[in-house]
């Protein structure tokens, strides 16, 4: 086999990158056919790579064998402090003919990222490609987050004994605002240890006051003895910033949020709320259902697969220097 020649990514590599990405996406769709078909076309895939390349701070590497491009990798930083001193390899940011090539490309590209002080590295990888996931694992990455995808179908709407599942009303806004804090507070605990910002009650109240009547969304609550103890929200997937580009199925509803008060957990309320949202997604005519969860969140990582969600992409994470 010819030697792999790795060089910095340039404008001249966009077309070859798009062709590689289109082939990768076509292979991905063979395992996850609900993903958008258009990105298996070279023009659409090339556009996704070009959009990444235009971002501030974009950099990467390209690999050639005997003059032919066999792998590309692009990293882009996200602004703000939420993700640390970061760089992201987005779903459209890497494509290789052989999984092992991604290790050489990362070795070249990460040199610059670390020199720039960007030591928190993230990559979003097609979940069904076990060999590619393994190549990233052997670069020191671990699984952090899961994108879940399944056909839209209405499961039986069964509430646990003693609980009522119903649509939320404006009268529920104060308790909905409180439940908005439950999920980030839970994820700040072991074993997730998320550093995500917890909103204030005032921020949550303002958001619910403005958005609860949005006809595109559906909010359900779980009630016990007249007291709301959990909630879940469904909406179009277009409202999700995480499920974008190649990771956004067409014609999909999004299970965007679910939380149950700690004192009400263990009764199946999360599952019942998820079923209610799934029923709304199917009843709204969507073809697919999407959600996501932290791999280390013991509750959601067990509940959502039981509703039929299967991993479509994995977000992997590495912190350099420890």
Listed by start position, the domains of the chain span 4-140, 151-294+301-309
Judged against a pLDDT cut of 80, whether residue 1 lies above it is answered with: no
Identical fold for domains 4-140 and 151-294+301-309, yes or no, is yes
What tokens were used for 310? 């299967």
How far does Cα 86 stand from its chain's mean position?
17
Return the closest-CA partner of residue 123 out of 82, 160, 156, 91.
91
Q: What is the mean pLDDT of residues 169-177?
A: 96
Question: What's the rounded mean pLDDT across residues 154-168?
Answer: 91
Q: How far apart are alpha carbons 302 and 197 in whole angstroms?
A: 24
Which of 294-317 are b and which e, b meaning 16 or more Cβ less than 10 Å from the residue's Cβ?
A: bbbbebbeebbeebbbbbbbbbbb
Q: What is the DSSP string of 102-136?
A: HHHHHHHHHHHHHHTT--EEEEEEETT-HHHHHHH
* pLDDT in the model for residue 215: 94
pLDDT score at 80: 85
DSSP 196: P
| Contact between 162 and 224 (Cβ < 8 Å) | yes
User: Residue 168 — pLDDT band, cuts 50, 70, 90?
Assistant: very high
Q: How far apart are CA 243 and CA 217, in angstroms?
A: 17
Is the pLDDT at 322 greater than 80? The verdict is: no
Is the confidence at residue 165, as pLDDT, over 80?
yes
Please report, for the chain, how many H helices and E strands are present, in that order.
8, 13
Q: Which fold would CATH assign to domain 4-140?
A: Aminopeptidase (3.40.630)
> What is the predicted pLDDT for the residue at 207?
93
Residue 82 is predicted with a pLDDT of: 85
Nearest C-alpha neighbor of 221 from the set 282, 263, 281, 180? 180
Task: Specify the pLDDT at position 81.
Answer: 84
Sheet holding 68-75, edge to edge: 4-8, 59-65, 68-75, 94-96
The pTM of the full predicted model, rounded to 2 decimals, is 0.95
Q: What is the pLDDT of residues 58-88, one digit of tens each?
A: 999 999 999 999 999 999 999 988 899 999 9
| Residue 311: predicted pLDDT | 98
- CATH fourth-level superfamily of 151-294+301-309: Gcn5-related N-acetyltransferase (GNAT) (3.40.630.30)
Q: What is the pLDDT of residues 100-117, one digit of tens each?
A: 999 999 999 999 999 999
3-state secondary structure of 236: strand
Nearest to 144 by CA among 275, 315, 2, 322: 315
Averaged over 7-35, what is the pLDDT? 98
């Amino acid at each position: 086999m010819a030697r792999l020649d790795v060089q910095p990514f340039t404008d001249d590599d966009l077309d070859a990158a798009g062709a590689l990405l289109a082939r990768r996406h076509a292979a991905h769709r063979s395992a996850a056919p609900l993903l958008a078909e258009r990105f298996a076309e070279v023009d659409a895939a090339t556009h996704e790579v070009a959009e990444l390349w235009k971002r501030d701070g974009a950099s990467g590497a390209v690999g050639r064998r005997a003059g032919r491009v066999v792998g590309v990798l692009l990293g882009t930083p996200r602004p703000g402090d939420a993700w640390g001193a970061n760089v992201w390899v987005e779903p459209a940011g890497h494509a290789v003919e052989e999984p092992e090539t991604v290790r050489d490309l990362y070795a070249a590209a990460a040199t610059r990222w670390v020199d720039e002080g960007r030591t928190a590295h993230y990559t979003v990888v097609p979940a069904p490609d076990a060999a590619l996931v393994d190549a990233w694992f052997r670069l020191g990455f671990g699984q952090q987050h899961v994108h879940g995808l399944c056909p839209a179908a209405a499961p039986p709407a069964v509430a646990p004994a003693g609980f009522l599942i119903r649509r939320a009303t404006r009268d529920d806004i104060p308790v909905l605002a409180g439940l908005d804090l439950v999920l980030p507070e839970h994820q700040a605990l072991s074993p997730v240890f998320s550093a995500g910002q917890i909103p204030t009650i005032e921020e949550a109240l303002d958001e619910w006051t403005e958005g609860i009547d949005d006809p595109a969304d559906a909010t359900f609550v779980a009630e016990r003895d007249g007291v709301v103890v959990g909630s879940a929200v469904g909406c179009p997937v277009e409202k999700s910033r995480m499920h974008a580009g190649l990771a956004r199925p067409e014609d999909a509803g999004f299970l965007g949020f679910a939380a149950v008060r700690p004192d009400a957990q263990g009764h199946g309320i999360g599952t019942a709320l998820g079923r209610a949202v799934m029923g709304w997604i199917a009843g709204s005519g969507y073809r697919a259902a999407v959600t996501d969860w932290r791999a280390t969140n013991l509750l959601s990582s067990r509940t959502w697969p039981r509703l039929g969600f299967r991993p479509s992409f994995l977000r992997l994470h590495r912190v350099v220097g420890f």
